[in-house]
Amino acid sequence: MSDRADRLWGARFKSAPAAALTALSRSPEHYFALAPYDLAGCRAHAHELERAGLLTAAETVTMIAAIDQLDADYRDGKVAPIAADEDVHTFIERVLTERLGALGGKLRAGRSRNDQTVNDLRLYLRDHVRKITSALLALQQALLAQAQQHINTIAPGFTHLQQAQPIVFGHQLLAHAQAFARDIDRLQDWDRRSAFSPLGAAAMAGSAIARHPELAAQELGYLGACENSIDAVASRDYVAEFLFITSMIGVNLSRISEEVCLWTSRQFRWVEISDSYATGSSIMPQKKNPDIAELTRGRSGRLIGNLTAMLATMKSLPLAYNRDLSEDKRGAIDSVDTLLLVLPAMAGMIATMKVNEAELLKQAPEGFTLATEVADWLAMRGVPFKEAHEITGKLVQLCEFHQQGLSDLSDEQLAEVDTRLTADVRSALTLEAAIHSRDGFGGTAPARVSEQITRLRERMQQHADWVSAWQGPRL
């Protein structure tokens, strides 16, 4: 077979493509990961061709059997793309034609690489958002299990990286789990918007042959077919939105990674990472480094970069399809691979870390974290909060001058600042009182944290059920 016959285009060209063009045009190796999804589209299209009368029932059976065998052979490594295969579509048509002869060439009728490539990536991403969700749920479960153990573990809470108010450590861990729950919500929202099939759009005007795209869409697990054939092949907002979500996941991963780096430092001494999830130094024998957290924090930049690159590629592209859009797969596949690599490592690190409860308790009152309790105590007794704030500020100044803590002040020192600061204020100047007073919905009081765990567990089960209910294309 000639080079021109191997390609899906070229009949009107008098000369073969230059080597430089071929090298630039050929899909990177990792794009061939879309082969199972392209084959799923091939099955649906074969049925469409039968409905159009281009394939007989017997030919369809033969075609589907060949597609299934190619799928199995590809997964088993018995068949692979060759250098002459420009992309996954060329690879599949080449093999089917080799195995079926002229019948293999019939499959191209009524479709284009333009609608095929969108379909492949949509199916790939819809499938992989479930895998990412499962990995996020595993990380959430690790956070939730740790939080369950530390509902009553008092710790210093921070703002501006300065000690602010006492909290329970479980509340801090659950703050990260809540962010990941919203990430899963975003993946679900994305899936609803992306669950429409581009097949039948062909090059851009629709197909005169594949005239029932709604049936192909149903076969592939979509909610329906795209409303507009031009939009179907030209839009990549579904890729950009996916990359935004993965970027947001990366940002949320980076935030907890940064905290783990702080918590494990000698300055904090809050947490010890399991030896199985830490590394050492090639020169300093004493070192135990939080490499998983650091590598994850670094990969977040890569996820953000993939989004930025996709948006820049999409900018100012005219309708309909342009070859620039072939860049969509580069960032999308890389972002999937990145998350499926870092999420299990993060889950394992969080699940196995040891929390130094005594150190957290020791540090909890440092930095005058109970000062707000004084201001609130005054406000509850009718002192305008502006005034209560000023009184408490003066009290902190006195503590700093005498190098004392708030609970160490004598009755005389309290009265020196303001006569309304009676000895009764000491009832508010305990860590336990501060924690239990924050008992409004969403607060750090242990009872509220326990309720939060219950609700989060229910939400996680709903997310897990969504993954389990996935009925996508037969792969």
Residues annotated as part of the active site = 160, 281
In this structure, the chain runs to a length of 475
SS (H, E, C) 213-235: HHHHHHHCCCCEECCCHHHHHHC
Residue pair 409/398 in contact by the 8 Å Cβ criterion: yes
Q: What is the DSSP string of 311-341?
A: HHHHTTPPSS--GGGGGHHHHHHHHHHHHHH
419 phi, psi to nearest 5 deg: -65, -20
For the CA atoms of the chain, what is the radius of gyration? 30
Q: State the residue for tokens 């999409």.
A: 314
348 vs 88: CA distance, rounded Å: 36
| CA distance linking residue 28 with residue 16, whole number of Å | 21
Work out whether strand 271-272 and strand 354-355 pair parallel, antiparallel, or are unpaired. antiparallel
Residue 236 to residues 241, 306, 317, 329, Cα–Cα distance (Å):
9, 13, 11, 10
CA angle 273, 162, 456 (to 5 degrees): 55
Cβ neighbors of 269 (< 8 A, separation 6 or more) are 356, 359
* CA–CA dist 62, 40 (Å, integer): 15
Ordered alpha helix ranges (H), 385-445:
385-402, 411-417, 431-437
User: Bridge-partner residues for 162, per DSSP?
Assistant: 159
Amino acid at 284: M
Residue reference for tokens 């075609």: 63
d(CA 210, CA 226): 14
